Structure 1
Amino acid sequence: MTTATFRALHQDRAAGDPLVLPGPWDAASARVFADAGFPALATPSAGIAASLGYEDGSTPPDEMFAAVARIVRAVSVPVSADVEGGYGLAPGELVGRLLEAGAVGCNLEDSEEHATLKDPRRHADWLAAVRAEAGDALFINARVDTFLFGTGDPADAVARARLYVAAGADCVYPLMAPPEVFPVLREGIEGPLNMAARPDEESVAELARLGATRITFGPGMQRHAVGATGELAARLRPGHPRPPTSGQL
């Protein structure tokens, strides 16, 4: 599936009908989501990090790109990749690694070392360089971390988002924005708007109502799976009371 196909999924969406992109952390989870009928997927860097045994933000780039490539090979739908802040790679190398892995898009965040916001104009210049290297071959989702590491001022988030869109970003992702500021963001930001949901129907429905164009889940699905596995392990561990068989009822 091509980047053009992925880009088209974001366009002309009816109000209340966002593009919902599950977050696979390995090939098996990717197949589950694709088999369920989702038209595209978006990998979470934190979910992949956890699956590989790393803390969020600590995955070596080679391992992250290899994980993305395995996910891409496992499914026939487009896959966008969260590659954090780009791992310090030059724009040309970053684009090359993404295309080599088979990704049709990427998340690029505007904070450093998961703590400090980047200068928005310098970051916009860097995004413009990534766009110039990629042409139309990558869908760029520009993450705005104002609500995560900054003041939480929606005006700052809107100003950053406008710079990033002008630099060539296809979509903007104001991570951790509280629901009450969504109308301000929706009004002030041109183009697709990505919002993060919890892995439940109510959260998705609420974000759809508030005007999200695209909904992703970060590491939420991976953590949900780990939690479910933990519950299963607790039920099966030696010495745990077992439910009666049908003959004992």
Structure 2
Amino acid sequence: MDVPRLAAPVTGAASRFFSGAGLLLRGLGLYVRSPGLMLLGIVPALISGVLLVAALAGLLYFVDDLAAWLTPFADDWSNSWRSLVRVLAGLAVVGLAGLLGVVTFTAVTLAIGDPFYEKISERVEERLGGTPGAVEVPFWASLRRSVVDSLRLVAISALIGVPLFAAGFIPVVGQTVVPVVGAMVGGWFLALELVGAPFYRRGMRLPDRRALLKADRPTTLGFGVAVFVCFLIPLGAVLVMPAAVAGATLLARRSLGQSTREG
């Protein structure tokens, strides 16, 4: 399918970044005005959240053993240097797990709650004037495409996460620059996942939405990083997920040059 080419935004990158973050707040406002969907939107995220917390708890329990396993070369070092290297290794493991955990959580939650989040996205589009170019997509076909695309995004984020994991061993840089880069990478992939429903509704697949979101990368990153940070807060992923779906619908419409204003 031909992807529409939009004129490049004329505002500064910082302004567009914060504008993208604002889409999450607008998505929250749109979502809470549909109380009938609120509980249903939280249930799939709660299920995925329990699984994610259990996995992270297990990782934290064994993180010292993992750090030692990853740094056998430090066995004969002095206690202070060995401890420093293994603390850095542990932080790198937790950082990589956080990046992959957030992206995987989103993929699993969207798969479990596909009918609910599709309805939230549709409700948002109805408030904004409907869906131009909508196509009828059978439920199972939509779910299958969503799962396949999500698996691709998780795999790509894992490949990118490996060098970030390695950089996590670098003192100072690994604890300052790497987390920021990780948030940017995670935010980008979250945005790509979350806009799936409105793009599928228009008969557009992953390459289409990737091309359109790249056209205004600062806005996409602003939205994605805001969601990523919220997902790192305890219970944040569960409570914010439905609002993130609503905000992603706004992001998709904006990337397509369609109205994001009610009425």
Give the TM-score taking structure 2 as reference length.
Answer: 0.25
Q: Higher relative CO (CA 8 A, sep ≥ 6), structure 1 or 2? A: 2
Structure number with the higher helix fraction is: 2
Higher strand share: 1
Provide the TM-score with structure 1 as the length reference. Answer: 0.26
